[in-house]
Amino acid sequence: MGNREETTERILEAGLALLAEDGFAALGVNTLARRAGADKQLIYRYFGGLDGVLAALGQRVAGRMALALDQAVVPAATYAGVTEGLLLALLDHLRRDAQYGQLRLMEVVAPSAATAAFRAARGQAMAAYVEARASGMVRPAGRDVAAINAALIAAVEGMVLLGPAGLDDAGGERQRAAVQALVAAVYAA
């Protein structure tokens, strides 16, 4: 690995660490350069500035989500089963990956070119999951499955990222059961 690649990696790792520790408020060029042990001019040269770093971080975190989805189990060989597998994998991933959650919240609270890159990578990962597993399956008739799945994804993200009042679920069992019940209700024959 050359010097540029090593420095780029240090900058991205520092960005991920700062995100995990203090969220986006901690992510400034000076703080990032200090944490990475790199000259701040290299952030501009290699990434074009902070937005470029955020876009690269979004790609990396979305890549981790794609790997988590690739390992997801489809509970039943039906479109509902594919959807349930996606939602449960997303739920588990959100519970494990704080950086993913931070980026997802930033995408909602402070949309920018950087968060748009994350949104696109995240959307591509989920679409690839569904396409790989539901290819050739008949989608439920008379339903706008794209809109329904978007609502279900938002529900999963809301449960994990916003922590609704009254949902004490340290192990995630109640959340998993709720996801399974929602999918069953929405995609009942």
The mean of the pLDDT values for the chain is 87
Q: Are 177 and 159 in contact (CB under 8 A)?
A: no
pLDDT tens per residue, range 16-51: 888 777 777 778 899 999 999 999 999 999 999 988
Dihedral, CA of residue 167, residue 21, residue 118 and residue 114, to nearest 10:
130
Domain boundaries, the chain: 1-48, 54-186
pLDDT tens per residue, range 95-122: 888 878 887 888 888 787 767 877 888 8
pTM: 0.81
Arch. (CATH architecture) of 1-48: Orthogonal Bundle (1.10)
At residue 1, the pLDDT reads 58
